Amino acid sequence: MQPVRPITTGGTGAVSAAHPLATGAGLKVLALGGNACDAMIAAQAALAVVAPASCGLGGDMLALMHDSVRGTGAINGTGAAPMDKRFTALGSVGLSVTVPGLAEGWCEANATFGRLPLSVCLAPAVELARKGCPLSIYDRASIGEQAERLKRGGAERWAVIREAAGGAPVPQPEMARLLERIGAQGRDAFYEGAIAAAMARAVQGLGGLLSEEDLACQRSELAAPLSVPWGEGTVEVQPPMTQGVLLAMSLKGFQAAPLAEAASLDHLCIELTEASFQFRERAAEGAALLEEPLEINLKKSSGRGGPRAYLHTAGVATADSEGQVCSSLVSVFDSFGSCIYVPEGGFALNNRAEGFTTAPNEAAPGKRPVHTLAPMLLHGPEGATALATPGADGQVQTLLQILARMAAGADIASAIHAPRWRSEDGRLLMAENHRDAEQLRALGHDVEFRADNDLCFGGVVCAGIAHGRPFAGSDWRREVWHAVL
C-alpha cells in the first residue's frame, strides 16, 4: 500500500481531480483569477479529453457548489430519456442514450457561480485536445475490453480508439473545435445545429429515439441540497434523482445506532449500506426517505447482499481563498457509455438509460433514471470539505467509510488512505490489507479479497476550506491527484 498522501494547503485555491492533467487545468484557471467553480469546469473539460471512457461531452455532471453568500446550490447537469411515447423499455443500444447534460451543466455553473468567461475555463482542455495527450491508463485498458461495443457504435473510426491503446499522445481536433464553440457560443453550440443533428442521427441509426427536439429542450436544474446533521456540522448531498439520499440515510442511521453494541465499525457500515440500497428505486422521493428506518443487525450479517457493479465516473473537487467549494462528478455511465460515436464532435454518447430498473424507477418518455453520481459536502467548525469518488453504487459505500473513520478519530488523509471494502452482488469485496476481513467473514459476510488498489474501491477527490485557507487531498488509488496554488 502507498504511504498516506498528506493534505496540502494553499493560498489562492486547491484542485483535486481524477487525473493529473485535469488538476493542472484547474490550476491554470485559478492562476488567471478564476474561482473554484471556474477551476471545476476546467478540470471536468480536461477529463473529457483524457478520460473519455469515464466521462465526456456525451455524458452528465452533478455538482454541489457552496459559497459564503449563496450557501449551497446543487446543479443537476443530467439529461432525460427521449420524449417519444414509444420509449417505454430498453431493447437496442440506441435506446440506452439519454440527453447529455454536461455542456448545459457547465453553462449553468458558469453563469451562476463562475467568475471568468466560459471560453477561458475551457481553454486548457482545448489545448490538450488540439496538441494531443495520452489517455488515462484505465481508459486505454477499456479500449480492448470494450472492442465489440465500440465497433457496434461506430467508434472504430475514432482516433482515440485507433491510436491511444499504446499510450501515445492523440490529438482530438474535433473535440478541440467543439469545446471552442461551446466556450464562445454557450449551450447552443451543442444542443442546436450541426452537433445536435449529428447526435440524433447517430442514435437513431442504432435503434434509438433521441431527437433534435429532445436536445434543444435540455436545461440544467439548480436546487437546494439534501442535508443531514453530522457531528458538529452537516453533510449535504444531491437532491433527487440521485443516490445521494442513500448516503444521507446511512449517516442518519449511523448516528442513531448504539455503536458500542455493534460487532465492528465496518460491519455497522456494511449493514447500513445494504439497508439503504433497499430504497434505491425510490431515491426520487428524496428527503422523505430520511424518515424511513434502516433495519440492521448489529451482531451478524443480515444477508441482504450489496448493490450492482458499475465502476466508471470521474471526480473533481475545488476550493478557493474566498470560501467557494465545489464537489462534482462527471460520467458517461458504462465504459465509453453506449459506445455510440459522434464523429462531428469527437465523443461517445452515454448509456445512462441503463439506470432505469423497476417501478418507481422504470423507463418512461422524458424521465431521468436514478443516478449513481453522489458528490457530497461536509460542513464543520473549520469550514467546508468536498468529497467525491467514482464507483457508481460504491460511491455511497466509500464516502460512508471515510466519514465513519473520521467520526472515530481519524484525520481526513488517513481516512481516505485506509483499506476499503465494497458490498456488491452478494459479496463483500475487501482490500487484501484490510485487518478486519476475518472478523467480517466470521459475522457471515461473503468475503472476497481484491488488490488494495482495485478499481472497485473508488478514487476519492477532496478539497475544502479550513481556517480560511483552501486545501486539497487525494486518493492514492487510480490516477487521482491534487495540487494547490
Q: At what angle do helices 394-407 and 244-256 cross, to 10 degrees?
A: 30
pLDDT at site 280: 94
Answer yes or no: are the C-beta atoms of 238 and 225 closer than 8 Å: yes
Please report the DSSP string for 261-328 in residue order.
GSS-HHHHHHHHHHHHGGGGGGGGGGGGGGGSPPP--SSS-------------EEEEEEETTS-EEEE
Which residues on adjacent β-strands are paired with residue 9?
471
pLDDT at site 156: 87
**To which residue does cell 445512462 refer?**
352
CATH number of the domain located at residue range(s) 226-311+376-484 in this protein: 3.60.20.40
> In angstroms, how far is CA 87 from the centroid of its own chain?
26
Answer yes or no: are the C-beta atoms of 44 and 329 closer than 8 Å: no
pTM: 0.97
| pLDDT under 70: residue ranges of the chain | 1, 309-311
pLDDT at site 310: 62
User: Three cell numbers at 374?
Assistant: 453522489
Q: What residue spans define the domains of the chain?
A: 29-65+75-218+335-355, 226-311+376-484
pLDDT at site 229: 97
pLDDT at site 309: 65
User: Three cell numbers at 103?
Assistant: 455542456
pLDDT at site 391: 86
- 461 vs 54: CA distance, rounded Å: 15
SS3 174: helix
